[in-house]
Amino acid sequence: MAPNAATAAVTGDAQATNADGSKGSAWARLHGRINEVADNFFYRLGYWVATHPKRTLLISLVFVIACCFGFANFRIEADGEDLWVPADSLAKDQQDIIIQDFDDDGEYAAFLVESPSGSVLTKESVDAIWELDAIVMAVEAGGNTYVDVCPKELDGVTCEPPFRGITRFWGDFDTYEASVTSDADILAAVNVATFPDGSTVNQLALFGNGITYDADGNISGASATMQAYALGSDPDEDTDLNDDVFDWNGAFQDAMEEVTDDFDVVDVYYLTSRSTDDALEESVTGEIFLFITTYVLMVAFVSVAIGRCCTGPVKQRSWLGIGGVMLVIAAGMAAYGLNSGFDIPFTSLSQILPFILVGIGVDDMFVIVAAYDHTDPSLAVEERVALGVKRCGVSVTYTSLTNFFAFLLGSLTSLPAVEYFCLYAATAILFDFFLQMTAFVALLTMDANRQKAGKIDWCCCFTSKKYLQEQERQHQDGIQRGVTLPASNGEGANIGQRDLNLKAEVHQLSPIGRFMKDKYSPSLLSAKGKIVVLLGSAALLAAGIYGVTQATQGFDVLDLAPDGHYSIAYTDRARLYDFDIQEWYLPMNVYTQDVDYPDVTVQAEMQSVDAEMIETKNVDGPLDSWLASFIVWAEANTTYSANVGTSGGYPVYDDRDTFYTALSAFLADEDNARFVPDVVFDDEGLIKISRSDMYLVNLVDTENNVDALRDTREVADQSTLDPQPFAYSGVFVFSEQFVVIYNELLSSFGLALLAVLALSLFVLGKVTIVLLVCLTLVVIDVELLGFVYHWNLDVNSITVIELIMAVGLVVDYMVHIVHYFLHQDPRIPKDARIAEALGEIGPSVMVGAATTFLGIMPLAFANNVIFRVFFKMFLVIISFGFFHGVVFIPVMLSILPDRLVSNSAHGEGTASITRHDGSKKEASAVVVDGATSA
């Protein structure tokens, strides 16, 4: 075709016929028509952009700026419960009840002391603990000290004692100072069964597994101990008290940071209920350097790869590569802005998106540039751009939409952190697709016009006369390019314009493309090559299946914290001694509400539930029950003992007034003051809700967390009380994600797979090919999930995100190869078509894998565990995706019968060709599976 010809887009009516002359199937004709429409659309899009590049860039810029107005509503979400707890969490609902009725939001401040040389049960060490206690009491924030934010005893003035701490053995410092003069006095004080307030001593909760005992079984030493202070809260999250508690906790952290190195006899670690959220907030902006590093590396790489830096000052296109990377950044900014505008919060995981997006965006850039480079250089720039966009439009759209729908459907999860990440990712990928197909094509057009004018890449105001003279010489020599392929009868046949534009000429292939076509493909598709690939694939799948059977669940929110954060240091020591607030001897309560408490059967069932809870494997005593103590008290009290019935020994009264009178007297007794917070009365003076106290133990892994949650709920569900009681501990809120994680994983993957299936049917057409792609996708995700175990990682919310990403990313590697294979002329041998496809698009797939790896490589040096986990899993995704796309899929295409994998329907027909000026003409056409070429 002449350079100035008005090359047409095919819109016509050619009929597909099989080799025997029969018409193709209805589906083949429909698929062909869909491809015609798509090709026509992308041709026209490319031509319009190429003829209006500046207008296109302006529209794109306005779009990005408009989206960025959403940053006015930008907010960061760092609350662990709001991110990692399922939206429909039963534990969260129960927590709301507890906060409302008990004013207990689980706020605390704690420090842990460890003796580096021996035992903390010495006078010198305990003196240091009392000194730390004094520091806690002196902490001030906004005019509030500990006494202003602590939960109060019955008098409304005195702070409750620390809910865990060695100082409880004496109650106050004056008593300690008066009674302790030696290490022996310390040991005598801790070897008792109850604290001075009557509460039962739990030695393991106080000293963990670092206890040593003498011959008589008494405590003789302990390597560490912890002191934990409860803080008050208000059911209304917006009250001043909650703000005061939050601020005081921050001041506590500052005070502890200042004194941790001031003690010689003990090492001090500290933690508060806000520490995790603070750590997450720090991590949100903690990887800016990695972001900058990634994009600097990508600019350098793209400038070399797309820029063709060794081809001379005119042909190189470094600015095009830089512009493309800037468009990726613009897509990310627009996505962040739009999501912020719709009040989708920014989280620590949102930082990972730029590392993902740059790989996807740059991959599309290479495919677009490769498609342009494979057009006839003698054509006008606008024509080449239009044909290039037509050539790659369906492929780029398909891979972009699979990524988009994978993340969009992944956002249907009940886990908020995953939902927010997927919404950001889906939007960013869609915007990147829009900008690549418009703004980048505009930049490509402008760069091509620069080259045509002989202007130098880095100094476009200068023209290279040498380059223009060389171009003129080539034009005068009349270099013409064309392709003639052997027909099925062995005679030469002109393939037609569509095949000319969809088939790379040998001299246009890159060196890597020529290698993949001439060297790699014959070796891969040889008998030995196929055997090696199939055996290797089987071994990889076997390793994946084994890993799936061994994989375990687990997620530590602190993995999102920056390395070296004080909360990590505290947690490591606490876990070492088995008394982490989050794992060992965590307080658990059984709550009973809206029942007839004076009823003997109700009381019997309440105590039965408590006893059954203690019998479960992850619940331990001491049980501290107001009801059990009330019964003992009533039996011993002469005023009420006569009213105690003999049926099971439960207090049975003639009327409720007597019951509540006795209960009031019981709670007013100083010895029973600790039970006052455990019973909540309504406006009529009746018990609204009450609780009994016990401990969760051995929550060292996710399995035990889930077992504790399920076992305690099973006990509660079997209760005859109406309404049924419930067991609650703060850890249950986070444990609930592990109850649903596999369902979430399978649901997200299943929906993404359905999206791939639906899109593939319309884009690829061949059912066999679609099934091959989807089956390979399942295999890759099985292998990926298996390598979670081989990497010594856990299945958790992060895994769900990674598997969602894998669906989109690995499809990229497979579908480009398959799509280009299907668009080869079916009259040439199948292995030759595979080689042609690998030679043409293989280098772009290879570069795409390299850019994705380059994009995520800085994550290996991230300052938190989760980002490094993302790097590991990304490495597996890239490796498996590339292997299956460039190795496994070509082998399977070669092995499967040609009639199952090829667009074998072809024939001669006529097509209606629409010129740029709107006129039409009839032309002979070759039909490939219903798609015409003129």
Note the pLDDT tens digit of each residue in 524-546.
Answer: 999 999 999 999 999 999 999 99
Name residue 99's beta-bridge partners: none
pLDDT for residue 471: 63
pLDDT single digits (tens) 469-506: 666 665 555 544 444 433 333 343 343 444 444 443 43
| pLDDT for the residue 5 | 38
Q: In which band, very low, low, confident or very high, does the pLDDT at 52 lie, cut at 50, 70 and 90?
A: very high
pLDDT top residue among 864 and 686: 686
Mean pLDDT value across the chain: 81
- With b for 16 or more beta-carbon neighbours within 10 A and e for fewer, the 86-98 pattern comes to beebbbbebbeeb
Q: Tell me what percent of the residues of the chain surpass a pLDDT of 70.
A: 83
Q: Please state the rounded mean pLDDT for residues 191-216.
A: 86
Q: Between residues 778 and 7, which one has the greater pLDDT? A: 778
Reported as type and span, the H/E element at residue 492 is strand 492-494
The confidence score (pLDDT) of residue 366 equals: 85
Question: For position 460, what pLDDT does the model report?
Answer: 65
Query: Is pLDDT above 80 for 18?
Result: no
pLDDT score recorded for residue 571: 85
Is residue 592 predicted with pLDDT exceeding 80? yes
Q: How crowded is residue 329: how many other Cβ atoms within 10 Å of its Cβ?
A: 18
For residue 106, what pLDDT band results from cuts at 50, 70 and 90? low
At 927 the three-state DSSP class reads strand
> How many of the other CB atoms lie within 10 Å of CB of 169?
21
Higher-confidence position of 161 and 755 = 755
**pLDDT interval class at 909 (50, 70, 90):** very low
Please spell the DSSP secondary structure of 121-168, one letter per residue. -SHHHHHHHHHHHHHHHH--BTTB-HHHHSPB-TTSSSBPPPSB-GGG
Higher pLDDT, 49 or 481: 49
Token readout for 620 is 């331990």
Quick one: pLDDT at residue 655? 66
Structure tokens at 448: 């091509």
393 vs 904, which has greater pLDDT? 393
Range of lowest pLDDT (293-297, 625-629, 723-727): 293-297
- Residue 29's pLDDT is 78
Query: Before 622, cis peptide (omega within 30)?
Result: yes
**Cα-flanking dihedrals φ and ψ of residue 517, to 5°?**
-80, -45
**Segment 41-51 mean pLDDT:** 95
Where is mean pLDDT largest: 515-529, 730-744, 891-905? 515-529
Query: For the segment 229-278, what is each residue's pLDDT rounded down to a tens digit?
Result: 888 755 445 555 678 888 999 999 999 999 888 888 899 999 988 888 88
Q: How far apart are CA 513 and CA 371, in angstroms?
A: 13
Q: What is the pLDDT of residue 9?
A: 39
Question: Which pLDDT score, from 0 to 100, does residue 925 have?
Answer: 40
Query: Does 54 have pLDDT greater than 90?
Result: yes
Q: Is the peptide bond before 897 cis (omega within 30 degrees of 0)?
A: no
pTM over 0.85: no
What pLDDT shows up at residue 468?
Answer: 62
Ordered by where they begin, the domains of the chain are: 102-281+564-570 (no CATH), 509-552+735-904 (1.20.1640.10)
Token pair in block for residue 99: 């906060």
* Choice between 852 and 223, residue whose per-residue pLDDT is larger: 223
Residue 724 — very low, low, confident or very high, per pLDDT cuts 50/70/90? Answer: very high
Residues 599 and 722: beta-carbon distance below 8 Å: no
With 0-12 / 13-18 / 19 or more C-beta atoms within 10 angstroms meaning exposed / middle / buried, residue 851 is buried
